[in-house]
Amino acid sequence: MSTPPPPFSGPPAGTPRLELSGITKRYPSVVANDGINLKVGPGEIHAVLGENGAGKSTLMKIIYGAVQADAGQIQWNGREVVVANPAEARRLGIGMVFQHFSLFETLSVVENIALALDEPFDLKALAIRVKEVSTRYGLPLDPDRLVHSLSVGERQRVEIVRCLLQQPQLLILDEPTSVLTPQAVQKLFETLRRLAAEGVSILYISHKLHEIQSLCHSATVMRGGKVTGTATPSRETPASLARMMIGRELPVCEVPAYTGIATPALTVSKLSLVPDDPFGTRLQDIELEVHRGEILGIAGISGNGQAELLAALSGETTSTPDSVKLVGLPVGHLDAGRRRKHGLAFVPEERLGRGAVPSMSLADNATLTAQRQGLVKKGFLRPKAAWDFAKRCIERFDVRCGGPGAAARSLSGGNLQKFIVGREIMQQPIAMVVAQPTWGVDVGAAAFLRQTLIDLSRQGVAILVISEELEELFEICDRIAVLAEGRLGPAVPKAETNAEKIGMQMSGLFAPADKEPAHAAA
Amino acid sequence: MPLLEPRPTPSARMRLLSPLIAITLTLAVGSLLFLALGKNPVEAFTVFFVQPLSSGNGWSELMVKAGPLILIAQGLAIGFRARIYNIGAEGQLIVGALAGGGVAIALDGVDAWWVLPLMVVAGAIGGALWGAVPALLKTRFNAEETLTTLMLTYIASFTLSYMVNGPWRDPEGMNFPQSIMFGDPALFSPWFEGMRVNAAILIAAVASVAFWIFTSRSFLAYQLTVGGLAPAAARYAGFSAQRTVWVSLVLSGLTAGIAGVGEVAGPVGQLNLNISPGYGFAAIIVAYLGRLNAVGIVLAGLLMALLYLGGEAAQVALQLPAAITGLFQGMLLFFLLGADVFVDYRLKPRPKPAYA
């Protein structure tokens, strides 16, 4: 991942492809963009770097016409334009690949692409074009395959090909690698470099510093809605980029050794589940054991059984009693509330709507799972106790918010996550399952959350973390296993593995494939 | 391009203003309607909203009509908070009336204090059972309760028709489809001479207080509310979705059943085909107009009762058709739903032209 960027010849003398000056967008509670200037030349891969909430996405939506700026100018190939809507943007030659795909799972690749075209089309001819474009850019795609059978990486290809068909002069990619294996990331980068060499400008949004260093020619760094600097990534260090991005040094986690006795706390054995959802993943013979005092990481790309495994662990789906055990006690048949009573805590990946009720206050959200901490008495709520609980949680876990009365949805992702993690920790669990602990969380809060999890484990709690971010797993976990296509690989101490090996397993290639003989006699 | 954009947080002010806006718009459009019919709107509204309350009997009638509306709406609101849409309260009311009425008919001639309480209990059970049927269908077969509750209303209504035309027809009733008139032990006795208001209104009052405490303080109501606001969060917390369905439908059936007894043991005094002027449906509007809040429902119930009275007065004094009541109810709900959109959304400023 450390290939240096190809020499960049710089924009040819003349006009930049896109030039923003003084772009400002105010929302009722926040100034999302404050006088943003940005210049991208033809064939330039330009990074927009910043934490969540820095205003990157708003800026991209303004360029793509999905949001209108309150002030400022957009120059496109030297001409001032107002991009009224995305169709207008596409006509100008601006394409955007979104972080979350908007594909219809029951339709084929070519049908999905046809739906997004602004002009009339002929499905057969389009399929040929799709094939052409996709092979030319190293993004092989079968136009007739149904989208639900595609991997996440392949779905992203559909989105990219969809943009390329319209021959864009500027391609915007919003956090494109968050769903890809390390190997798939390399393939994507090759494609992007080829496009740039043909003169397509690329705006690449990310907060992953090493990616930006290996891919991008130039970078604009944003913080709090403002541009805090521009840089040539290859001449910077991750630390210097991080400083520009978060305004201080990148925090590092401390991982002390566990001094207690490591007895098994959470055990899963022979867990197989057929999902209700036709597009879900079947879990097959999951075996795992998390000990007190350790963090076990589960790597893998979402859609490989993560959601199903999490639900089976939390109790949102139930199975046979012995498939999940908590300190030897069979709990596989119990619902989430009963498992919590026995000392299992769970932090889901969706904070709003699952981990917390968006419109309810933090105090009311405390009651959601912490009812057994004296927040409910004889069937009646104790609002004062809930308020106090929420207040203690806010103070102890540094949740920035308007107090226990603040609605959950008014909090930023990182602060809500701190509240949810804090709420679960304050119930003194024996074992804790955490999904995507730092998804969409800014760097400062992410470091705090990781340290919190490490400290908790060293107090003797067994922690299971499911994450798509490999770096995060390597930072906090003691052992790592890979979940691919509904099967869980063996948990390996992190010193004995590396990103390369994990990446191989993510694509479903477990090293020793011990298959049964194909023609075994009955 | 959509005209609306979501608000960052739902507007609390709009939530309270919305019923007032809906009432204002209903009055405004009502005025146009009266004008189109050649009636003076001021006079019409006097007949509609002032005259009914200018006598003691008017207030008595207001209570008689508000009682069942409030009682049913309190039960419905529990389910609506949990997004369980029982729209068959009318049927549950009828079955409650049948159960309570059945007791009255069976015990005709028995002069004991417990006849009326027994009827209320029977009505509560009847309504609750009629609510339990869709609950069973939903939890076992995932059948949509909006459809099943409504369909069961027709079954209830035909059952009533069969009973008063057949087994329970008054032998001396000249073949009218009605039961015998209930005896005094099976009737709520009026509080004042010549007025119909009776102790049934106390049931609605007590229920309102009970529901207020239940919704604002109980853990069960909290669980139901979470189930409605964020089903995934309820599952995550381990709250039973099945229990939500059962509690919502059984409880709203129960209150509707009691309301049914209140009618047959009160103003109607027998089983016949006109035991409810659509209270079960109007209560849906009452529940939403009252913001699914126990106190709000009391106010909304009084307003809706006034619409019933005003509609009757308008028929007499202005020779307007009976449909006028339904028209006003419909407009009220229509404008309320329209105004409610602005709780979560606001108007989006128009974008500037394409090229500068």
- Give A356's DSSP letter: B
Shortest Cα distance, chain B CAs vs residue A68, angstroms: 7
- In A, which residues are within 8 Å of B229 by CB distance? 357-360
Which of A335, A354, A372 to probe the B interface (max B CBs under 10 A)? A354
Question: A82–B352: do the CB atoms touch at under 8 Å?
Answer: yes
- Give B272's DSSP letter: B
Residue A182 tokens read as 């390390």
Say if B354 falls within a structural domain: no
Say if B33 falls within a structural domain: no
What is the domain count for chain B? 1
Taking CA–CA distances from B227, the nearest residue in chain A reads: A357
d(CA A445, CA A466): 18
Q: Does B220 touch chain A (CB under 8 A)?
A: yes
Taking CA–CA distances from A410, the nearest residue in chain B reads: B9
Question: B1–A336: do the CB atoms touch at under 8 Å?
Answer: no
Taking CA–CA distances from B229, the nearest residue in chain A reads: A357
Name the residue facing B217 among A68, A336, A381 (closest C-beta): A381
Question: B8–A371: do the CB atoms touch at under 8 Å?
Answer: no
Angle of CA points A475, A481, A484, to nearest 5° = 120
What region does A43 belong to: left with phi over 0, alpha with psi -120 to 50, or beta?
A: left
Question: B238–A336: do the CB atoms touch at under 8 Å?
Answer: yes
Q: Does B113 touch chain A (CB under 8 A)?
A: no
- At residue A99, the pLDDT reads 67
Q: Which of A99, A102, A121 shows the shortest CA–CA distance to A166?
A: A121
Any idea what the CATH number is for the domain that residue B83 is in?
1.10.3470.10
Pairing of strands A201-206, A45-49: parallel
The residue type at A374: G
Say if B276 falls within a structural domain: yes
| Interface predicted TM-score (ipTM) | 0.81
Q: Does B242 touch chain A (CB under 8 A)?
A: no
- At residue B59, the pLDDT reads 92
Say if B208 falls within a structural domain: yes
The model's pTM is 0.79
Shortest Cα distance, chain A CAs vs residue B351, angstroms: 7
Taking CA–CA distances from B7, the nearest residue in chain A reads: A28
Shortest Cα distance, chain B CAs vs residue A84, angstroms: 5
What number of C-beta contacts closer than 8 Å exist between A and B? 86
Residue A61 tokens read as 């939506």
Shortest Cα distance, chain A CAs vs residue B97, angstroms: 32
Question: A353–B233: do the CB atoms touch at under 8 Å?
Answer: yes
Angstrom distances, CA of residue B195 to CA of A3, A487, B188, B206, B259: 92, 75, 12, 22, 19
Which of B236, B343, B344 to probe the A interface (max A CBs under 10 A)? B236
Most confident of A504-508, B6-10, B156-160: B156-160
Evaluate whether A449 touches A418 at the Cβ level (below 8 Å).
Answer: yes
- In A, which residues are within 8 Å of B218 by CB distance? 379-381
Name the residue facing A358 among B230, B351, B353 (closest C-beta): B230
Q: Does A513 touch chain B (CB under 8 A)?
A: no
Q: Does A84 touch chain B (CB under 8 A)?
A: yes
The residue assigned the tokens 């760097």 is: A443
- At residue B353, the pLDDT reads 47
Q: pLDDT (tens digit, 9 = 90+) per residue, B12-26?
A: 888 888 989 999 999
Q: Does A360 touch chain B (CB under 8 A)?
A: yes
Shortest Cα distance, chain A CAs vs residue B354, angstroms: 5
Q: Does B239 touch chain A (CB under 8 A)?
A: yes
Q: pLDDT (tens digit, 9 = 90+) per residue, B263-280?
A: 999 999 999 999 998 999
Say if B53 falls within a structural domain: no
Say if B349 falls within a structural domain: no
Shortest Cα distance, chain B CAs vs residue A335, angstroms: 6
How many CB atoms are located within 10 Å of the residue B214 CB? 18
Which of A61, A347, A373, A381 to probe the B interface (max B CBs under 10 A)? A381
Across A480-513, b (16+ Cβ under 10 Å) vs e yields bbbbbbbbbbebeebeebebeebbbbbbbeeeee
Q: pLDDT (tens digit, 9 = 90+) per residue, A130-172?
A: 888 888 887 788 888 888 877 777 888 888 888 888 889 999 9
Report all structural domains of chain A as residue ranges with CATH numbers, in order of start: 18-93+168-246 (3.40.50.300), 251-343+429-510 (3.40.50.300), 355-428 (no CATH)
The residue assigned the tokens 């309270």 is: B16
CA dihedral for A81, A85, A90, A96, sign (positive or negative): positive
End-to-end CA distance of chain A: 49
Say if B167 falls within a structural domain: yes
Evaluate whether A170 touches A39 at the Cβ level (below 8 Å).
Answer: no
- At residue A207, the pLDDT reads 76
How many CB atoms are located within 10 Å of the residue B121 CB? 17
Question: B232–A27: do the CB atoms touch at under 8 Å?
Answer: no
Q: Does B218 touch chain A (CB under 8 A)?
A: yes
Angstrom distances, CA of residue A485 to CA of A107, A275, A280, A505: 22, 13, 10, 10
Evaluate whether A266 touches A326 at the Cβ level (below 8 Å).
Answer: yes
Which of A314, A340, A380, A412 to probe the B interface (max B CBs under 10 A)? A380
d(CA B133, CA A159): 48
Question: What φ, ψ does residue A491 adopt, rounded to 5°?
Answer: -80, 125
Taking CA–CA distances from A73, the nearest residue in chain B reads: B356
Question: A359–B233: do the CB atoms touch at under 8 Å?
Answer: no
| Residue ranges in chain A modelled with pLDDT below 50 | 1-4, 7-12, 511-522
Q: Is A223 helix (H, G, I), strand (E, B) or coil?
A: strand
Shortest Cα distance, chain A CAs vs residue B128, angstroms: 22
Say if B52 falls within a structural domain: no
Question: B232–A357: do the CB atoms touch at under 8 Å?
Answer: no
Q: Give me the domain span that covers residue B141.
A: 62-333
